[in-house]
Amino acid sequence: MPIQWRRRSRWRDQRGAVLVEFSLVVVLFLALLYGLISYGLMLALKQSVTNAATEGARAAIGADLIASYDTAEDGLEWLGAKCCRRSADVTGEPLTIDPVRGFCSPSATNPGDPECVTVSISYDFAGAPLLPPLPGFGLAFPDAIASTGVIQLP
């Protein structure tokens, strides 16, 4: 009998150590999981902003700037309430879509010079992160995510 009692008491002594090890591992695992999810969302946002800017510029061919804005907005509809405002003049929303039509070259002044449509999209990531920030992770994220799509009109 005394041998079984010794084995059992040693196992009971290890319970506290196992609990401490488990709590340390779980904290590290959850921090890693949070980092993976938040970086994945940030990269998905960057890809969506880039695609929306190029699609918005393409939509201006044979149409007006409203169609360009609407197409860019449709590409970012997964953001829900964080989408959209038409220019930087309006405040309150983190996402700005700004389609502009003008000459492709800054030095172009003749009416026959080619015209371009430029769609600029900017998202204030520091002001409106997709996930609540975890202490220490904010240093690795950008303040803003922006992209520009340009297309020359025929």
pLDDT in tens, 135-150: 776 677 888 999 999 9
Spatial separation of the C-alpha atoms in residues 75 and 55, rounded to whole Å: 8
Residue 71 pLDDT more than 90? no
Give pTM, 2 decimals: 0.75
pLDDT in tens, 98-139: 888 888 877 767 777 788 889 999 988 888 888 887 777 667
Residue 145 phi/psi, 5-degree rounding, is -120, 125
E strands within the chain? 95-103, 115-124, 144-152
- Residues 88, 58 contacting (CB under 8 angstroms): no
